[in-house]
């Protein structure tokens, strides 16, 4: 015997399924740029934190008198971050034999972190200093572990314009 379909039985038609797929596609197309932006913001936030950690480690090593920064002519910020990743041993002083190691950074992260650091040429030591290029306030944060001080120094001209590059090149 043959069953007949009457109007009281319900089912999903092909048009309804197609409509649901189209709506999901539109919502996904609208959400994709936001998700991509969130990934970029997350990557930048991680890089800023890593750059601050590198800057603090560099300031601590400079305060101990440990030569650890590779000059710009030999690789600069990225080369120094790779050196810190491998570890720097304090040769003398109260912390002689202690090893400073920066963990958890691969080469691609180091290249991204390098945009937030520059080599500061002091009278006694070279050190890496954090500078956030996203901040347009003209303020540079210098972290000096030797004096346990965090200083906010306004600058009239960015070192980018003063020295003609992202980092100092020895003499001005």
In the predicted model, what is the mean pLDDT of the chain? Answer: 75
Of the pLDDT bands very low, low, confident and very high (cuts 50, 70, 90), residue 155 is very low
CB 154 within 8 A of CB 85: no
Query: What pLDDT, in 10s, does the model give residues 8-48?
Result: 567 889 999 999 999 999 999 998 888 888 888 888 889 89
> Quick one: which of 95, 8, 34 has its CA closest to 60?
95
Query: 0.85 cut: is pTM over it?
Result: no
- How far is 69 from 77, CA to CA, in rounded Å? 8
Q: Which residues of 36-69 are buried (b: 16+ CB within 10 A; e: fewer)?
A: eeeeeeeeeeebbebbbbbbbbbbbbbebebebb
Query: What pLDDT, in 10s, does the model give residues 64-99?
Result: 888 888 887 888 888 888 888 888 988 888 888 889
CB 170 within 8 A of CB 74: no
């Amino acid at each position: 015997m043959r069953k007949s379909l009457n109007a009281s039985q319900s089912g999903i038609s092909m048009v309804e399924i197609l409509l649901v797929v189209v709506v999901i596609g539109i919502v996904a197309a609208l959400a994709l740029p936001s998700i991509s932006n969130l990934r970029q913001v997350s990557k930048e936030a991680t890089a800023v934190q890593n750059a601050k950690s590198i800057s603090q480690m560099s300031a601590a090593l400079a305060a101990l008198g440990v030569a650890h920064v590779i000059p710009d002519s030999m690789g600069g910020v990225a080369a120094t971050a790779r050196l810190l990743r491998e570890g720097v041993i304090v040769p003398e002083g109260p912390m002689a034999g202690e090893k400073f190691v920066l963990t958890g950074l691969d080469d691609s992260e180091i290249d991204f972190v390098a945009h937030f650091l520059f080599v500061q040429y002091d009278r006694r030591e070279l050190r890496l200093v954090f500078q956030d290029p996203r901040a347009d306030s003209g303020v540079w944060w210098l972290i000096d572990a030797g004096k346990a001080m965090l200083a906010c120094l306004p600058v009239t001209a960015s070192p980018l314009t003063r020295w003609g590059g992202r980092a100092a090149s020895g003499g001005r």
